Amino acid sequence: MKKLLLVIISFAITGLSVAGEGMWLPIFLKQLNESEMQAKGMKVSAEDIYSVNKSSMKDAVVLFGGGCTGEIISDKGLLLTNHHCGLSQIQAHSSLQNDYLKNGFWAYNQDQEIPCPGLSVTFIISIEDVTSKIIPFLKPELTEAERELKIRELSSTIEKEKSNGTHYTGSVRSFYNGNQFYLFILETFKDVRMVGAPPGSIGKFGGDTDNWMWPRHTGDFSLFRVYAGKDNKPADYAKENQPFQPRHFFPVSLKGIQQGDFTMVYGFPGRTTQYIPSFAVKTILETINPARIKIRTGRLQIIDEAMRSSDLVRIQYYSKQASIANAWKKWIGESKGLKRMNTIANKKKEEEDFQKWALESGNKDYATLLSDYEKTYVKYTPLSKTNDYINEAIYGVELLRYARGFNKLATLCQAKVKDEKSIAEESKRILDGASGFFKNLDAATDKKLFAAMLQMYLTDVDVTMHPALLTEMRSKYKGNLSEYADELYSTSMLSDSLKLKSLLTDFTSKKSKKLLNDPAFRLSLAFSDLYSAKIETEFNQLASKINAFNRKYMAAQMEMRPDQKFYPDANSTLRVAYGNVEGYEPADGVTYNYFTTIEGIIEKEDPSVEEFEVPAKLSELYQTKDYGRYGVNGTLPVAFVASNHTTGGNSGSPVLNANGELIGTNFDRVWEGTMSDIDFDPEHCRNISLDIRYTLFVIDKYAGCTRLIDEMKIVQ
């Protein structure tokens, strides 16, 4: 155990990584990265980036909501993130009367800033290595379940010790597949208000067509503000709360960018799997991605058609469609990239080297590791496919996913001893949340999804995984699933807000038959029961085995290559990625420049295609070349690419120059590089960032919201 721990810790002081590759923990920048970063052009120090002794850049970076990054850009808590990160809030505040999705939103004074219930932002106060407080207590004889329980117990103790008596919270997170552990001290603010968002014709210009693509011309940004109590500490929403005074905010640079300039992305990357073996990649490439792509293609066809037919449906499904489409296109690009990179073959070669080393090392566990690992994946793969079809296809139907939320209530009602108090509380909880569900549900669209997804499930999933009720309904309706959908949606009490209110108001166990016999609930329950009976136990057992193999294989790789600098996989914790402004060559004979301009927007303009509509005001500003101080050489910069290693979760991350000044906001990767979550290619992997000059131009010249410009510290 001690030997392993030493190996894991010692990696940090040796070796080199591939240029541009890596998502680094900021607490190790001094030891690991500072010299390389400065050689690339950085002029600040590691202490300027992360410090617990003074204000530093980390104090201006936040986890925005549950899955994006944001940055503080003024001393009054003004927050910048992506348009697509703020989309759910923009959508929630939109209506046919106030269509902020289409027309944009700008708060021209503080009183106009809109509260966003449920939205929070989290700052990182400090990061501490607590590996030595956990690993020694994880005895080898523990099962995976026992190990996880022990980790939770130890983590909880550590979190409480470090946060008790403060308004902070602690969170212990696993790194290197469970070989290291770090404690994050967090400060979370819950009063966040919407300040500004461009119209969709700017914020989502190019839509799904341009998503993940370069050249890019999307003005992907939105603005919020963090509010605090009178003591500048987190507080629940109150009208009298004041704008948060941050420990640090980013100066905004108008200096622009040039080829080769140093860039740094500071944010919360979501998930990567850089160190998985070839057979894991094979499962992704041949089973998981094809299934998910096919299902989402079917869902998107139906949703897109519905959104084009109605403004109300467009508003209802705007955020949902964007979320579905984003991952769908990413998976397509990822698969193409993995094939182009010959990732499976390359990993097999690495595994041959590993196996030779393992046999020479005399470690019996290492000698059989890969073969045991692969045997587990052979069993895991078909179950993962069925699991995806249930989650992506069946519960991609909103009514069925909503019906699944009634399982607890049904269980309470079927108990031998009825707990009427708990039944009443659960039914009230569901009823209280019902308005949110129905607000964004179009029954006609969902019915089409119902019929299409059930047909896809019946066609693609082995008959042994078909619930008896589904087989019965297919027979009853002679394969006409549209007719089944019509009947189910017209009779289900869960598909109609008034019927649901009638069912749940003063609900007791005596009314449970109506729920238990509801056709939507019955079908959802049939899939839940199938999952419990035929998938869940074995799937979780295999996943647990894979987790153990992941941990052992990660430790073994570090031991095998002690001179390599290993960065931990992304896990939604604070990371630094660094590289340089740089174009790329996506294919033979094709070269992409490192930046785009407003000319590209005008070139793409097509009034007949919603994705490529250009607002009249923006067109006018282009015609008059009225770019203000944000233009350069007679044009207006829009976006740029660099070699920073990013992934989902980095959306909204600040992109900083050598002086730690804000030059852009990260919002995407190029399609040819989306396999970087698994296999990083320095020739093709580029992150796409919105040039801060275009952001400021839209705020100032397009929207006329100059008060926001005035509160920023702008550097020229």
**Is 84 a residue of the active site?**
yes
Q: At what angle do helices 311-340 and 343-361 cross, to 10 degrees?
A: 50
C-alpha span between 452 and 457 (Å, rounded): 9
Note if 220 is an active site residue.
Answer: yes
C-alpha–C-alpha distance, residues 641 and 158, integer Å: 41
Q: Which of 303, 251, 63 is nearest to 171 (CA)?
A: 63
The token duo for 55 is 């204000």
Picking from 223, 215, 175, the residue whose alpha carbon sits closest to that of residue 198 is 223
What 8-state DSSP symbol labels residue 406?
Answer: T
Closest CA to 158 of 175, 141, 183: 183
Q: Is the peptide bond before 290 cis (omega within 30 degrees of 0)?
A: no
The Cα–Cα gap between 209 and 612 comes to 9
Report residue 64: phi and psi, to 5°.
-95, 115
Strands, E, within 327-433: which ranges? none
Give the β-pairing of 252-253 and 714-715.
parallel
Distance between CA atoms of 284 and 61, rounded to whole angstroms?
32
∠ CA(157), CA(162), CA(163), 5° rounding?
100
Sign for the pseudo-dihedral over CA of 601, 602, 605, 607: positive
Measuring CA to CA, how many Å separate 223 from each of 202, 240, 643, 672?
14, 21, 26, 30
Q: Which of 84, 217, 645, 684 is catalytic?
A: 84
Residues in a beta bridge with 189: 121
Query: Cα 144 vs. chain centroid, distance in angstroms?
Result: 27
Look at strands 169-175 and 180-189 and give their pairing: antiparallel
The set of residues, in sequence order, having a beta carbon less than 8 Å from that of 364 and lying 6+ positions away, is none
Provide the residue type at 445 as one letter.
Answer: T
Q: Which of the 8 DSSP states describes residue 265?
A: E
Residue 456, classified by CB atoms within 10 Å of its CB into exposed (0-12), middle (13-18) or buried (19+), is buried
Rounded Cα gap, residues 301 and 311, in angstroms: 17
Q: Which is the catalytic residue, given 48, 59, 220, 691?
A: 220
Can you read off the two tokens belonging to residue 441?
A: 């549900």
Per-position DSSP letters for 163-194, written without gaps between them: HTTSS-EEEEEEEGGGTEEEEEEEEEE-EEEE
Alpha carbon distance 24, 27 (integer Å): 9
Q: What angle do CA 302, 214, 43 make, to 5 degrees?
A: 130
Question: Residue holding tokens 């503000």?
Answer: 225
Residue 201 a catalytic site member: no
Nearest to 118 by CA among 85, 81, 89: 89
Q: What is the largest CA-CA distance in the chain?
A: 78
**What is the total residue count of the chain?**
716
Based on the number of CB atoms within 10 Å of its own CB, is 250 exposed (0-12), middle (13-18) or buried (19 or more)? buried
Q: Are 519 and 487 in contact (CB under 8 A)?
A: yes
Of 651, 653, 676, 689, the catalytic one is 651
Cα-only R_g, the chain: 26
How far apart are alpha carbons 2 and 81 in whole angstroms? 43
10 Å CB burial of residue 30 (0-12, 13-18, 19+) is middle
User: Which amino acids are annotated catalytic?
Assistant: 84, 220, 651
